[in-house]
Structure 1
Amino acid sequence: MSLFFSVLASGSKGNATYIETDQHRFLVDAGVSGKQMEDLFKQIDRSPKDLSGILVTHEHSDHIKGLGVLARKYQLPIYANEKTWQAMESHIGDLAIDQKNIFRMEAVHSFGGLDIQSFGVSHDAAEPMFYEFHYKGKKLVIITDTGYVSERMKSIIHNADAYIFESNHDVHMLRMGRYPWSVKRRILSDVGHVSNEDAAIAMSEVMGDRTKRIYLAHLSQDNNMKELARMSVSQTLQSKGILVGEGFDLYDTDPKTATSLVAV
């Protein structure tokens, strides 16, 4: 069996990604309500009760909103680093001690044949980190919520078969939009979110001959649009000599509609 995944929800209001192998099923973040999580699982004909656990990237509400509810209802183990646990515990409610697991940054945990590696990103959270998944020679990377993609990050996530990659905002829309300047400055900073163009530049430097799918993720509800993100990323990649549709494709994600469950 292959490594399967679905981006259940993605955007500034809530994020969750489902990962499946023949032996294990994981959720990365649970950033929408418990009821919404149930509905999203139904869209891909799966159930949270079958999860092996939930991996947490950081404590912001759009990543942990439904975490406590889901974990308590289905008695699921949760994995996060120590600083993230400290930052989120008061927001997710009581959990049994055996549900609380430490997944340190820059570590690898193995579940059967599935190896999950964590890596740090640059975001204004306690100790934000994301994950890449290795299974039977396939590699899936999730990287959102970072103000920039460092050389170290690039070396870790290089040449994956599939990426779920932040393409948060259009810089012009953000600068001209309704947000107060303090919020705009935070988003544009090195601990904020990457723009469409910066995401594409990073993609051009990490994608390789095995890369077949790139999902544009964590789009701002106010400062981006799917069509604009896809166009901006495509044009920037083209300026680097990389043509969408020639060996790989771009895919949209959505806050309320899960992407199809596909094999890496």
Structure 2
Amino acid sequence: MALKFCSFASGSSGNCYMVKSEHTTLLVDVGITGKRVFAGLEERGVTPEEIDGILITHEHIDHVRSLRMVSKKASNAGVFASNGTLNVIADKIPEERAYGVPNESPFYIGDIRVNPFHLSHDAAEPTGYSFAHDGRQVTIVTDTGFVSEEIFHQVESADLLILEANHEVNILKMGAYPYPLKRRILGDEGHLSNEAAGHCLCQMLKKRVHDKIPHVVLAHLSKENNTPGQAYLTIRNILFEEDFYIDKDLKLDIANRDEVSPFVEV
């Protein structure tokens, strides 16, 4: 077995993912209730004691809601985050199991190689992660206002890419959000739009150096400013303009806001 991925929840109200090899189990963010985290683990046949690491992207509540409870029950798991993030969440985790993660310095948790990279978001020191094992790579890119060269370096080599498609720009602009919040979401430290995700995927496909079709899961969709159908349609049309096609050049799925997804294996 190479790597497995599943989503427990994905969206502005809470995010939690699992990445798993045969011998190592990791959680990425725990922004939902502990009850839902443990239910997701049980549904996927994993006990809290089997979790080897909890990786936190940043300190916003939709990514750390149950960190205190989960880190306590997952007693064998280290908690990994950037030093900036750790400074904010220190009261939620046991000090002896807190590990600072320098950007661009790969490290291992069990048999999974973790590559952290900087995100552009309005948080203390937001960090994305790529996970590699047995020649396969899973990369998670959410909560960033744009795709930098550093981020794209991880994107272009991913076999499975979890990519933010937070909002449809016109829906957000015409919606009920107050103007300062709209500016925040649309800014360089906000969230990726459907359009930005589509253009990122076009660049990814242009840079591919082998024929293997990448698998992409759209994530962190806004409940108010997006729908799965809208995200799919916008991205499909952008891909079509560059002569790329879903199911031919890439596989495309969308992470559900509130349901545990099936495992995706790469």
Aligned 8 A contact 1:147 1:188 in 2: yes
Q: CA deviation at 1:99?
A: 1.3
Whole-Å Cα distance in 1 between the matches of residues 84 and 213 of structure 2? 33
Whole-Å Cα distance in 1 between the matches of residues 239 and 89 of structure 2? 37
TM norm structure 1 = 0.95
Instruction: Tell me the alpha carbon deviations over residues 44-90 of structure 1, each in whole angstroms, 9 at most, x when there is no partner.
Output: 23333210010111101100001111001222320111110112224
Q: CA deviation at 1:130?
A: 0.5
Aligned length: 261
Whole-Å Cα distance in 1 between the matches of residues 193 and 185 of structure 2? 9
Whole-Å Cα distance in 2 between the matches of residues 104 and 217 of structure 1? 25
Confirm or deny that 1:32 pairs with 2:3.
no
The residue correspondences of 1:232-251 to structure 2 (distance < 5 A) are: 232-251=234-253
Q: CA deviation at 1:160?
A: 1.3
Counterpart for residue 21 of structure 1:
21
Q: CA deviation at 1:156?
A: 3.0
Counterpart for residue 57 of structure 2:
57
Aligned 8 A contact 2:117 2:150 in 1: no
Counterpart for residue 201 of structure 2:
203
Whole-Å Cα distance in 2 between the matches of residues 78 and 180 of structure 1? 35
The residue correspondences of 1:42-81 to structure 2 (distance < 5 A) are: 42-75=42-75, 76-81=77-82
Give the secondary-structure state (helix, strand or coil) at the position aligned to 1:215: strand
Give the secondary-structure state (helix, strand or coil) at the position aligned to 1:242: coil
Whole-Å Cα distance in 2 between the matches of residues 193 and 96 of structure 1? 31
Which amino acid in structure 1 is aligned with residue 219 of structure 2?
A
Aligned 8 A contact 1:53 1:77 in 2: yes
Whole-Å Cα distance in 2 between the matches of residues 152 and 53 of structure 1? 24
Give the secondary-structure state (helix, strand or coil) at the position aligned to 1:123: coil
TM norm structure 2 = 0.94
Whole-Å Cα distance in 2 between the matches of residues 60 and 86 of structure 1? 13
Aligned 8 A contact 1:3 1:263 in 2: yes
Counterpart for residue 192 of structure 2:
194
Counterpart for residue 139 of structure 2:
141
Whole-Å Cα distance in 1 between the matches of residues 149 and 17 of structure 2? 25
Whole-Å Cα distance in 2 between the matches of residues 177 and 43 of structure 1? 37
Q: CA deviation at 1:126?
A: 0.6
Whole-Å Cα distance in 1 between the matches of residues 38 and 154 of structure 2? 33
Give the secondary-structure state (helix, strand or coil) at the position aligned to 1:243: coil
Instruction: Tell me the alpha carbon deviations over residues 169-214 of structure 1, each in whole angstroms, 9 at most, x when there is no partner.
Output: 0011101111100000000000000110111101111243334310
Q: Percent identity between the aligned chains?
A: 33
C-alpha distance 133-86 of structure 1, shift in aligned 2 (>3 A): same
Q: Decide which of 140, 151, 154 is 2:152's aligned counterpart.
A: 154
After superposing on structure 2, the runs of 4+ consecutive aligned residues of structure 1 that deviate more than 6 Å are none
Aligned 8 A contact 2:48 2:73 in 1: no
Whole-Å Cα distance in 1 between the matches of residues 39 and 111 of structure 2? 29
Which amino acid in structure 2 is aligned with residue 49 of structure 1?
E
Instruction: Tell me the alpha carbon deviations over residues 130-150 of structure 1, each in whole angstroms, 9 at most, x when there is no partner.
Output: 000111111111000000101
Q: CA deviation at 1:247?
A: 3.9
C-alpha distance 58-20 of structure 1, shift in aligned 2 (>3 A): same
Q: Decide which of 158, 173, 176 is 1:175's aligned counterpart.
A: 173
Which amino acid in structure 1 is aligned with residue 137 of structure 2?
K
Q: Decide which of 207, 211, 214 is 1:212's aligned counterpart.
A: 214
Counterpart for residue 111 of structure 1:
109
Structure 2: gaps spanning 5 or more residues = none
Confirm or deny that 1:83 pairs with 2:84.
yes
Whole-Å Cα distance in 2 between the matches of residues 129 and 50 of structure 1? 24
The residue correspondences of 1:216-227 to structure 2 (distance < 5 A) are: 216-227=218-229
